[in-house]
Structure 1
């Protein structure tokens, strides 16, 4: 069984790229440029959430395709892929935290820490791209 379908991966990677481009375009240079429920903040959150969702979907489906089973949590999907040698353990740990952030957006959007959001939107895209590269190398 292969880990990922190349055509699907290319399409999903393009979607992640489009979402991350929108995050970069709307992310203010400084955290003070974000304010609760503003257009810039909403755009950053929405597109970051969507990019993370695509990566989570790919992680879960890759676990299943590799015969690792269906992970009980999104974070476990990344940890399982690290255990199988697909991902570096540190990257998997950061991606598991991204999955936690994803859940926070769904359940507590109004309570987001804007400093944390700015940090994640600034640094997190590199991890999402590293995940996609690892899957591309696996395909």
Structure 2
């Protein structure tokens, strides 16, 4: 068990921050502002997906580095960290749903509900930042 790499975490957290800044800059105030095949929608979806991807990659690597095993799914990664006391259980549940959003975007299993994307882009960044803060606190402790 080697623990969480502080330098890697700082670099990845900065990357997530940049992606979330792009989401915030392009997210219309009204959900109806996200429309199919629009530049705003493309930017919000792309950068939100990237922020989620980096975050769940950190969850998986943290499980391995903390000696918690290699989780079979992204959702399992955050739930494993919650079981180990690294993150709050409710936060882990929300992050597991974020992993589901990531899967939907990547695998294009269905058309995206743009009202839901707007809600995720409005509320989800706080969860990603809370997760990064929990890892930072763990790495510092």
TM-score (norm 2): 0.96
Q: Report 1:91-102 matches (<5 A).
A: 91-102=91-102
Query: Which position in structure 1 is the counterpart of 2:58?
Result: 58
Structure 2 gaps of 5+ residues are: none
Q: Whole-Å Cα distance in 2 between the matches of residues 109 and 103 of structure 1?
A: 8
C-alpha displacement at 1:109, in angstroms?
Answer: 7.1
Query: Which position in structure 2 is the counterpart of 1:69?
Result: 69
Structure 1 gaps of 5+ residues are: none
C-alpha displacement at 1:2, in angstroms?
Answer: 3.8
Are the equivalent residues in 2 in contact too, given 1:86–1:134 (CA < 8 A)?
yes
Q: Whole-Å Cα distance in 2 between the matches of residues 121 and 30 of structure 1?
A: 12
Query: Which position in structure 2 is the counterpart of 1:105?
Result: 105
Question: SS in structure 2 opposite 1:70?
Answer: coil
Q: Whole-Å Cα distance in 1 between the matches of residues 107 and 100 of structure 2?
A: 11
Query: Which position in structure 2 is the counterpart of 1:82?
Result: 82
Q: Whole-Å Cα distance in 1 between the matches of residues 119 and 2 of structure 2?
A: 35
Q: Deviations over 1:28-54 (max 9, x none)?
A: 000110101210000000000000000
Query: Which position in structure 2 is the counterpart of 1:17?
Result: 17
Query: Which position in structure 2 is the counterpart of 1:40?
Result: 40
Q: Post-superposition, which runs of at least 4 consecutive aligned residues in structure 1 deviate over 3 A?
A: none
How many residues are aligned here?
A: 139
Are the equivalent residues in 1 in contact too, given 2:16–2:51 (CA < 8 A)?
yes
Q: Whole-Å Cα distance in 2 between the matches of residues 3 and 124 of structure 1?
A: 26
Are the equivalent residues in 2 in contact too, given 1:3–1:135 (CA < 8 A)?
no
Q: Whole-Å Cα distance in 2 between the matches of residues 78 and 3 of structure 1?
A: 16
